[in-house]
Structure 1
Amino acid sequence: MTGEDLTGRRVTVAGLGVSGISAARALVRAGARVTVVDGGDSPSHRARAEELAAEAVAARLGDGDTLPEGTELIVTSPGWPPDSALFAAAEAAEVPVWGDVELAWRLRGPDAAPWLAVTGTNGKTTTVRMLAAMLEAAGLRTAAVGNIGTPLIDVVLGEQPYDVLAVELSSYQLHWAPSVRAHSAAVLNLAPDHLDWHGSMAAYAADKGRVYEGNEVACVYNRADPATERLVRAADVVEGCRAVGFTLNSPGPSELGVVEGLLVDRAFVPDRRQQAEELAEVTDLEPAAPHNIANALAAAALARAYGVPPEAVREGLRSFRPDTHRIEWVADVDGVAYVDDSKATNTHATRASLAAYESIVWVAGGLAKGAEFDDLVTAAADRLRGVVLLGADRARIREALTRHAPDVPVVDLERTDTGAMAAAVGEAARLAHPGDTVLLAPACASMDMFTNYNRRGEAFADAVRALAADRTAEHR
């Protein structure tokens, strides 16, 4: 259903953040009577509430638990926990709950652009941006949207027409988006994450799997991650929709993969059993790390499902540059490469990052979010030249290192002040030898010491550049 009529309906918006404000304004334009609720009552909350008041939006601050009287629909921001008292009250009153993505889907017009959707534990943003680059190279009007950049509701209701949208969807967003039906979708991988929000790994996976529901052309899955294929098998799709795998190995029929340094397609060719189409070279990617190749294959599968020709896939990959703090080279100092992957905030992402380099001084630590590190350390042990640990839960990583890599030298930094990252880089430089990579891949969240992973990555890069300047001065 498109262009749903909300005229006169009493709608409560949960959350006064970016997506909540965007949803409230869209609802007002749709003719709804809107109240925003938020547990916060800071000066910034009050300033945002005053802005919305000028647009006929009521706001109730300091109470995010009580359902406003007469509410007929709740539209929630993505991070609002599903076990909150507000939703319990809504369930008791038989009031439906939509997320911001569901609202965008319901309000889009009859000629709205189809969605190519991407979810997964790691790699979503990179894959969506790669996909958008391929679509643009094919001459299509597109945008990378959803859990990235501009709120989806603003894009869907904006004046700019699009041919197709590359949509990143988080598990939070999918939880509250029962009606979304993508043209094609991909689940990149599944690993434990946000389990405090979802309640269990099964619930987390089920929410990720919603992205496949109603797919029209292709359900793209990761052959190396059987859980993603199981989600495809469980999905209710349009008749004729195909399962399309991607792999870092030679692809079988209905798969994309890698053959002798080439990205090849055996899914969207006339004879899948006998033919393969060259899409790009591995060297077209920057960086050409294994997980980045996997992201490129997933993006290519979605692009090919939409009819993008091979030359546009290659052109898109050649023009693509990853966002900052994602396997980002910072500098070479005395023959040692320094790489910022501050975005690696969980063990799954960090394992992929560590697999990209042969000899590593690993900088890690922060808020573990309940993670265990034994499997991660076991997989990386033979690549580790040394480890520098910092942050609140660094002891948990050190214990795993003691058990599984006892011969690897470890520096444990207790300090948590603003100079801690500079100290970490200095210790890493002391441990590193020419040919090594000093890799910031924390496997943890950043909020114990930094505002976010961006600030953490910036602190690392600043410290590396200062080290490079010092060494240059010494050599003069």
Structure 2
Amino acid sequence: MVVGLARSGVAAANLLARKGRDVVVTDVKSAPELKGSITELDPSVRLALGGHPEGLIEGAELVVMSPGVPSDLRPVRLAREAGVEVMGELELAWRAFEGKPFFAVTGTNGKSTTVSLLALMMELSGSKCLLGGNIGRPLAAEAAAGESADCVVAEVSSFQLETIDRFHARGAAILNVTPDHLDRYPSMDGYMAAKAAIARNQRDGDVLVLNADDPGCAALRDSHIKDIPGREVLYFSRSNEVKGCFIRHNEVYFATGSDDDGALIKCESIRVQGVHNQENAMAAVLLARAAGCKREAIVEALREFPGLEHRLEFVRELDGVRFFNDSKGTNVDAVLKSLEGFLDQKVVLIAGGRDKDSDFTLLKQMVERKCRAVVLIGEAAGKIETVISGISGPLVIEHAS
């Protein structure tokens, strides 16, 4: 049984069907609401839509949850009580790839950029890798299509990590941990525990990469990361020399105690700019080296990678005004990192949208330093205005819809 017919649910159902399993998909939405998803399903998949009928789990051998499905949903809870195995789409896909090494990245921000850059480093080194997970196609869809690869590069969210069991990452990175999705998790500790699961099943010879500058990463490491004999823990930092990757005199250094240690590339030579992208680049470097990527391929990727859409993406310059699209900055920390990358106080910030129970007080100091005007939109507009309205100086605040 597959619970939730979104992209991951469709991918999981099709993978199971193509392995000869008898599959039923259930969702609270009705068939008309799910018309687009239904057309993508294998014809053998049965549907139980518009709710979760009584007796649905009778005879079930496996329940696969789509990311975001609450763990206390009744059919999931009943399945666990009946001793039925419950897993997520990520776990299912990992098992389907049958031993291919996974290099997985999680964190509140920067995941998509980091995995895309890492995949390019691997390709330039001559490895055939699959990129998927929370970016591109679900990994179960790649497995169902029978795609072959030397390794898998996976962007994984906290939602996906909630439902892993044996999932194993040869290389894992946690980029940062700041408040997000607190409308789902009862506390920051619950959110951190979900993120930390990426490293739970690592073993001797594996690599874990952490952000040495991020207080959330430090708290997660101290409370949720267990010591594993033989696993190497590496760090990246913009401010301190650490074992791993760091910036000194505006140059990225690689330092793990290997013969390859030393200066790697000047920061201005990295094509994607911004302090947050320096961090993403260093994380990608460390995972790439763990995967055996060639030094010259890593440097070439850093010079050539253009970045991703909607992530501090330069749009155009008009009448002396530069426009940037940072619409993927959907939490406070992402906005802070983006604003930090601008060197002067000339930014007009358009902000707002959905409120995920975020602490907008963290914006106040950076907005005061970097912005001359703020345009507020969406349900979070009033909450943000309350925070920034007390800023001293000539800050213009407008509302738009």
Shorter-chain TM band = over 0.9
Report the CA distance shift for 1:50/1:289 in structure 2 as closer, same or farther (over 3 A).
Answer: closer
Report the CA distance shift for 1:204/1:311 in structure 2 as closer, same or farther (over 3 A).
Answer: same
Query: 2:141 aligned with 1:154, yes or no?
Result: yes
Could you tell me how far 1:395 is from its partner in structure 2?
1.4
Q: From 235, 244, 266, give the equivalent of 2:234.
A: 244
Partner of 1:9: none
Whole-angstrom CA distance in 2 between matches of 1:385 and 1:81: 41
Partner of 2:161: 174
Partner of 2:30: 41
Whole-angstrom CA distance in 1 between matches of 2:248 and 2:356: 38
Partner of 1:56: 44
Whole-angstrom CA distance in 2 between matches of 1:310 and 1:244: 17
Moved more, 307-316 or 292-301: 307-316
Moved more, 119-128 or 73-82: 73-82
Partner of 2:339: 354
TM-score in terms of structure 1 length: 0.78
* Aligned counterparts, 1:392-411, within 5 A: 392-403=379-390, 405-411=391-397
The runs of 5 or more residues in structure 2 that have no matched partner are none
Partner of 1:313: 298
Partner of 1:77: 66
Number of residue pairs aligned between Structure 1 and Structure 2: 395
The answer to which structure has the higher helix fraction is 1
Moved more, 40-49 or 129-138: 40-49
Query: 2:374 aligned with 1:384, yes or no?
Result: no
Whole-angstrom CA distance in 2 between matches of 1:163 and 1:48: 30
The answer (yes or no) to whether the contact 2:11–2:140 under 8 Å persists in 1 is: yes
- SS of the residue aligned with 1:43? coil
Whole-angstrom CA distance in 1 between matches of 2:119 and 2:187: 32
Q: After superposition, what is the alpha-carbon deviation per residue over 1:300-346, rounded to whole angstroms, capped at 9, x for unaligned?
A: 01001112122111111122121111101112223222211111111
Query: 2:322 aligned with 1:337, yes or no?
Result: yes
- SS of the residue aligned with 1:143? strand
Q: After superposition, what is the alpha-carbon deviation per residue over 1:118-176, rounded to whole angstroms, capped at 9, x for unaligned?
A: 00000000000010011111111112211111110232354332112211000000000
Report the CA distance shift for 1:230/1:210 in structure 2 as closer, same or farther (over 3 A).
Answer: same
The answer (yes or no) to whether the contact 2:14–2:144 under 8 Å persists in 1 is: no
Whole-angstrom CA distance in 2 between matches of 1:350 and 1:289: 12
The answer (yes or no) to whether the contact 2:271–2:304 under 8 Å persists in 1 is: no
The answer (yes or no) to whether the contact 1:115–1:167 under 8 Å persists in 2 is: yes
Percent of aligned pairs with the same amino acid: 35
The runs of 5 or more residues in structure 1 that have no matched partner are 1-11, 417-476
Whole-angstrom CA distance in 2 between matches of 1:238 and 1:409: 51
* Aligned counterparts, 1:106-117, within 5 A: 106-109=95-98, 112-117=99-104
Whole-angstrom CA distance in 2 between matches of 1:342 and 1:14: 30
The answer (yes or no) to whether the contact 1:122–1:189 under 8 Å persists in 2 is: yes
The answer (yes or no) to whether the contact 2:272–2:305 under 8 Å persists in 1 is: no
Q: After superposition, what is the alpha-carbon deviation per residue over 1:171-225, rounded to whole angstroms, capped at 9, x for unaligned?
A: 0000001211110100000011112223221111001001112324211000011
Amino acid at match of 1:206: A
Q: After superposition, what is the alpha-carbon deviation per residue over 1:262-303, rounded to whole angstroms, capped at 9, x for unaligned?
A: 211001524xxxx83222221232332100000000010100
Amino acid at match of 2:70: P
* Aligned counterparts, 1:96-245, within 5 A: 96-109=85-98, 112-215=99-202, 216-232=205-221, 234-236=224-226, 239-245=229-235
Could you tell me how far 1:248 is from its partner in structure 2?
0.8
Report the CA distance shift for 1:401/1:229 in structure 2 as closer, same or farther (over 3 A).
Answer: closer
Whole-angstrom CA distance in 1 between matches of 2:197 and 2:36: 36
Answer with 1 or 2: which has the greater Rg.
1
Amino acid at match of 1:407: G
Could you tell me how far 1:65 is from its partner in structure 2?
6.9
Moved more, 337-346 or 390-399: 390-399
Q: After superposition, what is the alpha-carbon deviation per residue over 1:17-73, rounded to whole angstroms, capped at 9, x for unaligned?
A: 221111111112223221100111142525644664x63211001014754322222
The answer (yes or no) to whether the contact 2:235–2:244 under 8 Å persists in 1 is: yes
Whole-angstrom CA distance in 2 between matches of 1:393 and 1:287: 29
Amino acid at match of 2:323: Y
- SS of the residue aligned with 2:183? helix
- SS of the residue aligned with 2:369? helix
Amino acid at match of 1:344: G
The answer (yes or no) to whether the contact 2:173–2:209 under 8 Å persists in 1 is: yes
Whole-angstrom CA distance in 1 between matches of 2:283 and 2:226: 21
Amino acid at match of 1:203: G
Moved more, 24-33 or 164-173: 24-33
The answer (yes or no) to whether the contact 2:18–2:144 under 8 Å persists in 1 is: no
Could you tell me how far 1:228 is from its partner in structure 2?
1.9
Amino acid at match of 1:400: V
Amino acid at match of 1:168: E
Amino acid at match of 1:239: P
Q: After superposition, what is the alpha-carbon deviation per residue over 1:89-110, rounded to whole angstroms, capped at 9, x for unaligned?
A: 223323221000111122223x
